[in-house]
Amino acid sequence: MRKKKTLLLVVSLLLVVALFGTVLTGCGGNKQSSNNNATQEKKPILIGGVAPVTGPAATFGKSTKQGYEMALEEWNAKGGVLGRTVKLIFEDDKADPTEAANAFSKLINENHVVAIVGSVTSSCSLAGAPIAQRNKVPMITPTSTNVKVTEQGDYIFRACFIDPFQGTVAAKFLYNNLKARKVGVIYDIGQDYNAGLAESFKKKFESLGGQIIAYEGYPDGTTDFNTQLTKILDGKPDAIYSPNYYNDDGLIAKQARSLGFNGPIVGGDGWDSPDLVKIGGDAVNNCYFTNHFSKESKEEIVQNFVKKYEDKYGEAPDALAALGYDGMNIMLTAIQNAGSTDGEAIKDALKNIDYQGVTGHIKFDENRNPIKSAVILKIENGKQVYVTTINP
Nearer to ligand PHE, 62 or 257 (CB): 62
Ordered alpha helix ranges (H), the chain? 2-24, 26-42, 58-77, 97-109, 122-134, 163-172, 192-207, 226-234, 246-258, 274-280, 300-313, 319-338, 343-351
| Cis check: omega of the bond before 34, within 30 degrees of 0 | no
Residue type, 244: N
Closest CA to 100 of 109, 108, 91: 91
- Of 277 and 338, nearer to ligand PHE (C-beta) is 277
Nearer to ligand PHE, 45 or 64 (CB): 64
CB of 58 to ligand PHE, least distance (A): 12
> Could you list the residues that contact ligand PHE (CB under 6 A)?
60, 120-122, 143-146, 193, 269-270, 272, 292, 319-320
Spatial CB neighbours of 297, under 8 Å, sequence gap ≥ 6: 303, 386
Q: What is the residue type of 51?
A: A
Whose Cβ is closer to ligand PHE: residue 114's or residue 276's? 276
Contact 245, 233 (CB under 8 A): no
Cβ 323 to ligand PHE, closest distance in Å? 6
Q: 220 or 234: whose CB is closer to ligand PHE?
A: 220
The nearest distance, CB 129 to ligand PHE, in angstroms, is 12
Name the minimum Å distance from CB 100 to ligand PHE.
Answer: 12
Radius of gyration of the chain (CA): 25
The answer to whether 206 and 177 have CB atoms below 8 angstroms apart is no
Tell me how far, at minimum, the Cβ of 146 lies from ligand PHE, in Å. Answer: 5
Shortest separation between residue 84's beta carbon and ligand PHE, angstroms: 30
Report helix, strand or coil for 296: coil
Name which of 275 and 342 has its Cβ closer to ligand PHE: 275
Q: Which residues contact 214 (CB under 8 A, 6 or more apart)?
A: 184, 185, 228, 231, 232, 234, 235, 237
Rounded to a whole number of angstroms, the minimum distance from the CB of residue 255 to ligand PHE is: 22
Nearer to ligand PHE, 349 or 358 (CB): 358
- 8 Å CB contact between 353 and 145: no
SS3 1: coil
* 95 SS3 class: coil
